[in-house]
Structure 1
Amino acid sequence: MDKKIDQVTAELRSYLPDVKQKSVVVLLHDVENPAPYMQLLNDASQTILFTNSSSTYKQIDNEKLPKTNNVILNCAEFKNCELQPNSADVGVMIKSFNLLSVKEKESVLSKLLTVLSDDAYCFVYEKEWIKDNENHSSTPIDLINYFHSSTSKHSDNKTNYGFALVSVRPLQTYVQLKSEPFHLCFLFKKVHYIDAPETLRDFLDQQQYSKNSVLRYEKIFGPGFVSTGGLDTTKEFVATLDLKPEHRVLDIGAGIGGGDIFIAKTYGCSVIGVDLSTNMVGIAWERLLGLTDAKIKVSFEIGDVMKLEYDNNSFDVVYSRDCILHIQDKHELFTRIYNWLKPGGKLFITDYCCGKKPWSKDYEAYVNDRRYNLLTVQEYGKYLEDVGFKQVEPVDGTNRFADCLKVELERINSMKNEFISEFSDEDYKHLVDGWESKLARTSEGHQRWGIFRATK
């Protein structure tokens, strides 16, 4: 087994849910070498494998793998299987889902919801994204939408089950060696809808970061950007980080990816952009799929940065723009970032901050409505120092923020007719009112903007 296969197998294992002493149902269709995928499941108590490929079946059947589990091979269609309901602890699909027709996808997911036990995980690895065939997913978002639209009723005929997205992570081996960012590992969880509370991702994707809202923001910030100052502030701030081609950058709150693509193109370094919002990353993937000639080392993940794991001492720079305001436990977040950075690594953040209380009722309502968790600039800097960062530079950049707001407001006013034709008059008024309100809150001293630099 060559080094690349070893690296890919190790990455897949790190993203795979725990299978130790569990019953796993697997869909593994026509793959060139099934052995590494089977080895991922050695710790399972039972592996029930379905493949419609006689070649894959024969290879697994003949392979002398060090199996400690009971492998049941089925050269049959999973959608027609007769497994007992709630009998599998984990579902795994390897390079199989996108090969199915639309009806087959729906049947397979319905069957999975029946076969998987409550709160079971389903892991999906896909690498092909074909745009010109109606029987294939055209983008990773299509795959997510298939899972999200699948539901199944419990035997009581009342309880609805479905799949909730946990994360989507690219295999970095392919990003680094081949600049291929779409070898993606999806993790879903079977959820009982009646008990499922609204998550922060649900709130963001359905309200502030609905796709329409994101595209409106991009119109005012500039192509590829949804943070203050767009490309102008990105160029300015990134220029201070002394980036080298060998560096690895983690962008927390990557948005629609313009900043990460700029960093990778300009400095040649490797960039991982992570965001909780499915809508944000979906747009970033669309833009990245369009860069057919660009051999850059950039990839995007969907996930909760408070739960995702990265190796300690693995990043040269952690970068974040106007995102951490959504995260409540900043001490825990900064501790995680500190651990991920290499010794001497740099942290750069811009973020919404606040003035000291009491706040105006208008500002209090704004913060509560957005579910922001804000600190003063000084409190922010103290958190960074408390977790061990050195050379902490907390700067109140509110004046710069206000200047950016004015430029952006002038831009949107100058393209009023174009904006209304692309969106609506209501969207235009909403955006203008929002920017004018931000300017009012900054002048009152309530809304602040912090710029933070620190070193591990």
Structure 2
Amino acid sequence: MGDIGTFMKGHGSRPQQAADDGKGVREAMTNFWAEHSKEASLVEMMLDTNAEELTVHELPEILSYLPSFEGKDVVELGAGIGRFTTELAVKAKSVVAVDFMEKFIEKNRETNSKYSNIDFKCADVTKLNLDSNSCDLVFSNWLMMYLEEEEVQSLMKRELLWLREGGYIFARESCFEQSGNKKRSNNPTKYRDPALYMAMFTMLTIPTENEDEVFGFELVLSKPVSSYIKMKNNENQVIWLLQKCRRKAGNDGHGYATFQDFLDNQQYSTNGVLRYEKIFGRTFVSTGGLDTTKEFVAQLDLKPGQIVLDVGCGIGGSAFYMVKEFGVQVVAIDLSANMINIGIERAKEVGASEDEVQFEIADATKREYKPESFDVIYSRDTILHIPDKLALFKQFYRWLKVGGKVFISDYCCSDGEHSEHFKAYVKQRGYNLLSPRRYGEVLEAAGFSNVRAQDRTDLFVQSLEKELVVAEGVKKEFLQEFSQEDFDYIINGWKDKLGRTKDQRWGVFYGEKH
């Protein structure tokens, strides 16, 4: 399980003590829920006196994040009185509904007695054993916060075993603080940092039948629950959707367990993001900052009320600009948790509400949106990381409404042979580059019409040169916030980019769905 033990020590874990008093922890949790299950009511289940109103908005939102489970085998952990069990049973082939409180399971069975595809189990999830490769989705809503870290890790490993390849785990937890307002005589709940859950999910692996491969979880989506932000001003209700995938044993070629780890610990570390922002301008981490954003967005003819998907949104600059200037709504996604966390803070700074900009830590190649969800899909210097661009662009086409538009800027390469230095750079970064011409052809192959594929390396060079001037102008201030090493990294990096422009091009692309 990698170095998860070391990580947890920094987050308040007490491995030896947890092992010694595990029985006491389970007893405390049992007593806690015995106190809050006397009536097996919705208020008890959600630990909130406003549960009836909350669930009207929260339940459909949670369901909207799930992958398709029609005709699938589902395991629901911590099923409680069955408010989600019903919804799962309507579409699923089978549902195993598990809870360790007999009163909750009895209420669930009573509520859902008309469904013949539900297997009700009164069981402690820390001791639950199911067949390997027996389900397609493991669903839990408020569960791991009632377990010790070692119990969480053990459960995650068993979930990985239970799932078929390509199957999903969905989890929702209260992080940092209590959310429900129901009074409690004691509260043994673990309100963890969501980063700890993310680390436990992504660092866990199990063997496959091949020595050079392992199974692990790869993130599809993580975000705060919007209904809790709007109704309770609570950003600490967090969901995760992860998929069981194969990957190379050891790492993915970058020296990190997953590509997301690579982004958050190397290319887009928090320090790296903030030093980029210092040069690009507040809320921006893309070439040209506000200037190129204004030029590019002007091509989209945005109208109030339209919905934009910003793929690789960074820390939100383009999204905030589109919202404030054109009155659109933006779903802003990025695979880097660091980017999204900073973006959420910047949203408060600029006054962008959850209704205006919704941030998601998400993998665009795995995320599912309903067909015709968006009027515009916008992406800045992100798709260079994705090998199968055609598959992604077909998804873009499906997600766009008829008449919708796609706009992309991206790192590209020149046609023909490239220098060995450039090849090494591309390999080290894990980029997958196409020439602007070929990029446009792939958009057309995905179904887009009126495709414009432009080589705008001239604008790229102009922006870099301007940013070098900016860097020198803010050097004193920059060094107060960062280091000389950081400053040198920016200056040398920008000069290297200028030196690579024979091989590295910058493309700007536009297409329409007719």
TM (norm. structure 1) is 0.80
Match of 1:12 in 2: 63
The reply on whether 1:402 has 2:456 as its aligned counterpart is: no
1:290-329 → structure 2 map (5 Å cutoff):
294=353, 296-329=355-388
Match of residue 306, structure 2, among 222, 234, 247: 247
State the match for 1:272 in structure 2. Answer: 331
CA contact (8 A) 2:221 2:363 kept: no
**Cα distance change of structure 1 residues 327 and 119 upon mapping to structure 2, 3 Å threshold:** same
Per-residue CA shift, 1:380-432, capped at 9, x if unaligned? 23333343323322232222211211221122223334434433322222221
- Map of 1:117 onto structure 2: 161
Q: Does the 8 Å contact 2:384/2:410 carry over to 1? A: yes
Post-superposition shift, 1:151? 7.5
More off after superposition, 332-341 vs 293-302: 293-302
**2:449 matches 1:363:** no
> Deviation digits for residues 266-295 of structure 1, max 9, x if unmatched?
333221122233333343345457778835
Q: Show CA shifts across 1:234-276 (max 9, x none).
A: 2332233222222111112112223223323433322112223
Cα drift, residue 319 of structure 1: 0.5
**Residue 386 and residue 150 in structure 1: after superposition, are their counterparts in 2 closer, same or farther (change >3 A)?**
closer
The alignment status of 1:449 with 2:496, answered yes or no, reads: no
Contact 2:82 2:111 in 1 (8 A): no
Task: Describe how 1:393-432 pairs up with structure 2 within 5 A.
Answer: 393-432=452-491
Alignment match, 2:398? 339
Q: Name the SS for the 1:223 alignment partner.
A: coil
Q: What residue is the counterpart of 1:72 in the other structure?
A: 120
> Would you say the 8 A contact 1:162–1:191 is kept in 2?
yes
SS in structure 1 opposite 2:129? Answer: coil
Q: Could you say which residue in structure 2 is the equivalent of 1:350?
A: 409
Verify the 8 A CA contact 2:175 2:238 in the aligned structure 1.
Answer: no
Distance 1:152 1:350, change over 3 A: closer
Aligned with residue 172 of structure 2, among 94, 118, 126 = 126
Using the TM superposition, give the Cα deviation of residue 203 of structure 1 relative to its aligned residue in structure 2, in angstroms.
Answer: 3.7
Secondary structure, aligned partner of 2:78? strand
Return the letter of the residue paired with 1:165: E
Shift of 1:222: 2.1
Q: Partner of 1:222 in structure 2? A: 281
- Structure 2 residue aligned with 1:157: none
Which residue among 119, 129, 140 is the counterpart of 1:83? Answer: 129
Question: Does the residue aligned with 1:207 lie in a helix, a strand or coil?
Answer: helix
Structure 2 residue 87 is matched with structure 1 residue 50: no
Cα 1:161–1:109 change in 2 (3 A) is farther
The alpha-carbon deviation at position 322 of structure 1 amounts to: 0.9
Secondary structure of the residue aligned to 2:148 is helix
CA distance in 1 between counterparts of 2:70 and 2:129 reads 19
Q: Does 1:136 pair with 2:136?
A: no
Moved more, 425-434 or 57-66: 57-66
CA distance, structure 1, for counterparts of residue 427 and residue 206 of structure 2 = 35
Question: Given that residues 454 and 509 in structure 2 are in contact (C-alpha distance below 8 angstroms), is that contact kept between their aligned partners in structure 1?
Answer: yes
- CA distance in structure 1 between the aligned counterparts of 2:388 and 2:246, rounded to whole angstroms: 27
**For the structure 1 residues 114 and 381, does the alpha-carbon distance in structure 2 shift closer, same or farther, using more than 3 Å as the test?**
closer
Q: Is the Cα contact below 8 Å between 1:209 and 1:277 reproduced in 2?
A: yes
Rate the CA distance shift 1:13–1:233 in 2: closer, same or farther, 3 A: closer
Structure 2 residue corresponding to 1:96, chosen from 120, 143, 147: 143
C-alpha distance in 1 between matches for 2:113 and 2:229: 29
Say yes or no: does 1:62 pair with 2:110: yes
Number of the residue aligned with 1:165? 218
> Which stretch of structure 1 is more off in the superposition, 348-357 or 204-213?
204-213
Q: Distance in 1 between matches of 2:484 and 2:109?
A: 63
Q: 1:148 to 1:266 in 2, by over 3 A?
A: same
The change in CA–CA distance for 1:240 and 1:218 in structure 2 (over 3 A counts) is same
Going from structure 1 to structure 2, the CA distance change for 1:423 and 1:181 (only over 3 Å counts) comes to same
Counterparts of 2:392 and 2:223, CA distance in 1: 22
Q: Distance in 2 between matches of 1:376 and 1:152?
A: 39
1:108 to 137, 149, 152: 152
TM-aligned CA distance change 1:17 to 1:391, over 3 Å: closer
Question: Which runs of structure 1 show a deviation greater than 6 angstroms over 4 or more consecutive aligned residues?
Answer: 150-154, 175-183, 191-194, 289-293
Structure 2 residue 434 is matched with structure 1 residue 434: no
Residue type matched to 2:117 in 1?
N
Show CA shifts across 1:168-209 (max 9, x none). 155998599979987654123567898465154344334322
Aligned with 1:438: secondary structure?
A: helix
Q: 1:215 to 1:47 in 2, by over 3 A?
A: same
Contact 2:134–2:163 (8 Å) recurs in 1: no
Listed one character per residue, the Cα deviations across residues 82-101 of structure 1 (whole Å, up to 9, x for unaligned) are 5368586343211333x43x
Q: 2:240 aligns with which of 186, 203, 212?
A: 186
Change (3 A) 1:214 1:137: same
Q: Distance in 1 between matches of 2:115 and 2:269?
A: 47
Pair 1:282–1:405, CA change in 2 (3 A): same
Task: Give the length in aligned residue pairs.
Answer: 440
Contact 2:220 2:363 in 1 (8 A): yes
Letter in structure 2 aligned against 1:114: R
Comparing 296-305 and 175-184, the one that deviates more: 175-184
Q: 1:40 and 2:88 equivalent?
A: yes
Q: Distance in 1 between matches of 2:415 and 2:204?
A: 47
Contact 2:176 2:236 in 1 (8 A): no
Q: Please list every run of 5 or more consecutive structure 2 residues that lacks an aligned counterpart in the other structure.
A: 1-51, 180-188, 253-257
> Conserved in 2, the CA contact under 8 Å of 1:151 and 1:162?
yes
CA distance in 2, matches of 1:73, 1:247: 46
**Runs of at least 5 residues in structure 1 that lack an aligned partner in the other structure:** 155-159
Asked if 1:27 corresponds to 2:75, the answer is no
TM-score, normalised with respect to structure 2: 0.72
Report if the CA contact (8 A) 1:22-1:46 is conserved: yes
SS in 1 for 2:296: helix
Identity %: 35
Secondary structure in structure 1 of the residue aligned to 2:305 = coil
